[in-house]
Amino acid sequence: MNPILDKARVIKAYRWMLMARLLDERLAQLYRAGRIFGGVFLGKGQEALSVSMGMVLNRQDVYAPLIRDGAGRLAFGESALDALRTCMGSPMGPMRGRDGNVHRGRPKEGYLPMISHLGASISVVNGALMAKRMKGEKKFVGIASIGDGATSTGAFHEAINQAAIEKLPLVLVVANNQYAYSTPTSSQFACQSLSQKAIGYGVSDHEVDGTSLTDCLKTMQDATDRARQGEGPQLVIANLLRLCGHGEHDDAHYITPELKASSVGADCLKLAENTLQSDYHISKESLEIWKEETVLEINQSIEQVQREGAPDPYHHSWKSLISRELCEHS
């Protein structure tokens, strides 16, 4: 059997998916209770794909997740605590209240913080990979995660082309989740499948059922293996459906019943639970216990974040440069 599908790893992947889903649900509650500043953006329906990215990466790799990658972030090493700290604006989190919600990361650890401009992270991953090559590192990869909407940007075009020219070990993962905010894919691209774009750039392509955890794990493992072995950039298209609005402010009324009822509309978490029970002989009781343990950890993290308080604007360092002597007065 493919080692990525051994029992321990699939369980691990499932538990990160579960935590991402339960974390999302708590974030939605906190949002409705007015405990979150700004918006809340959930990854419901994308956890199988997302977690697979985190599962196939190593410490020396680079990961640029996007808005719906709570599961991938956890699998890459982020704690639920750091996620909550950023969403709730704790001064102890990696962004210290300076940036929020999905805009978080620890760049020095290869975990890149997204900006809101779509497609803009891909070339940043490219540069990190170019640097690693110049430094003589070996067998590293970088994953950039985007959605179908970002494939329409100039930044996407420039960056995938750049990666192809430089033969970089980039795995570019597109969650083809059928909508960019409310815009359906028919208004986003006119090719039959997004994987057709690969040939134009001279990169390899993979297409996967984004609702299947085992398929996503296999495909992500294959794509990253190829990139690690020097086969150049890999474009992965995962077909799935966003099972929520763009953010919690959006009721997603525009998602058609036909799509919801189609195969892309399946809930990857439920499918993973079915697979765990049927193929890995995990009992219902175990699933229940895992859920309880996860809820407990999330609740403890929320309590801790609430104790950490808020950043103090009057004792904040309002300096935008490291070179303090070059900062303008503010």
Partner 1 sequence: MSVTYLEAIREAQAYLLEHDSRVYIYGQDVGAFGGAFKATKHLANRFPGRVIDAPISEDAMIGSAVGAAIEGMRPIIEIQFADFSTVGLNQVVNQAATLFWRTETPCPITLRLPSGGTSGGGPFHSQCLESIYAHFPGLVVCTPATVEDAYSMLIESVTLDDPVIFCEHKYLYYHLKAESLPKDALPLGKARIARAGRDCTVVTYSAMLHECLEAAEEMSAEGIELEVVDLRTVKPLDTDTIIASVARTGRLLCAAEGWPWGGVNAEVISRVVAEGFNLLDAPPQRINAKDTPIPYHPKLWSVHRPAAASIMAAVRNVLRS
Q: Contact between 127 and partner 1 (CB under 8 A)?
A: yes
Q: Contact between 124 and partner 1 (CB under 8 A)?
A: yes
CA 219 to chain centre: 16
Q: Contact between 200 and partner 1 (CB under 8 A)?
A: no
Tokens coding 53:
């990215």
Cβ atoms of 275 and 289 within 8 Å: the answer is no
Shortest Cβ distance from residue 264 to partner 1 (Å)?
31
Out of 52, 123, 239, 294, which residue is the one contacting partner 1 (CB under 8 A)? 123
The string over 248-269, giving b where at least 16 C-beta atoms fall within 10 Å of a residue's C-beta and e elsewhere, is beeeeeebeeeeeeeebbbbbb
Give which of 70, 12, 81, 13 is closest to 45, Cα–Cα.
70
CB within 8 A of 158, min separation 6: which ones? 123
Tokens coding 94:
């990696």
Shortest Cβ distance from residue 191 to partner 1 (Å)?
21
Shortest Cβ distance from residue 42 to partner 1 (Å)?
22
Out of 2, 38, 79, 117, which residue is the one contacting partner 1 (CB under 8 A)? 117
Contacts (CB under 8 A) with partner 1, residues 62-91? 62
CA separation for the pair 37, 294 (Å, rounded): 24
Out of 73, 132, 226, 246, which residue is the one contacting partner 1 (CB under 8 A)? 132
Shortest Cβ distance from residue 282 to partner 1 (Å)?
38
Give which of 268, 221, 329 is closest to 44, Cα–Cα.
268
Q: Contact between 93 and partner 1 (CB under 8 A)?
A: no
Q: Contact between 312 and partner 1 (CB under 8 A)?
A: no
Contacts (CB under 8 A) with partner 1, residues 139-168? 154-155, 158-159, 161-162, 165
Residues that bind partner 1 (CB under 8 A): 62, 94-95, 98-99, 103, 105-108, 112-113, 115, 117, 120-132, 134-135, 154-155, 158-159, 161-162, 165, 320-323, 325-328
